[in-house]
Amino acid sequence: MRRSFANAVFRLTGHRLCCGRIPEWAAHVGQPWRPIDEAPLNLYNVIWRLQTTLRGWMD
């Protein structure tokens, strides 16, 4: 199920979602940037975690 979801997302968005560059401004939205173990809900860290997860699920 995960693999088919990740492959469907890739077919719809191409590399923009799984491998796209995270904009620098995302690190400064809401709170100052801190490493993922200190601020897991920082926007930059959430995007990074999403990208990493999708890449792990794809074929």
pLDDT tens across 17-26, in order?
Answer: 777 888 888 8
Residue 33 or residue 50, greater confidence: 50
Range of the domain at 25: 2-57
Quick: pLDDT tens for 24-43: 888 777 677 777 778 777 88
* pLDDT-above-70 percentage for the chain: 98
59, pLDDT greater than 80: no
Structure tokens at 12: 């719809």
Which value, to the nearest 10 degrees, does the dihedral of the CA atoms of residues 7, 4, 57, 12 take? Answer: 20
CA distance 40 to 57: 21
Question: How far is Cα 53 from Cα 31, in angstroms, rounded to an integer?
Answer: 23
Number of domains into which the chain is organized: 1
Average pLDDT over residues 5-16: 81
* pLDDT recorded at residue 28: 76
Rounded Cα distance, 9 and 13, in Å:
6
Q: Which is nearest to 23 in space by CA: 3, 56, 51, 55?
A: 51
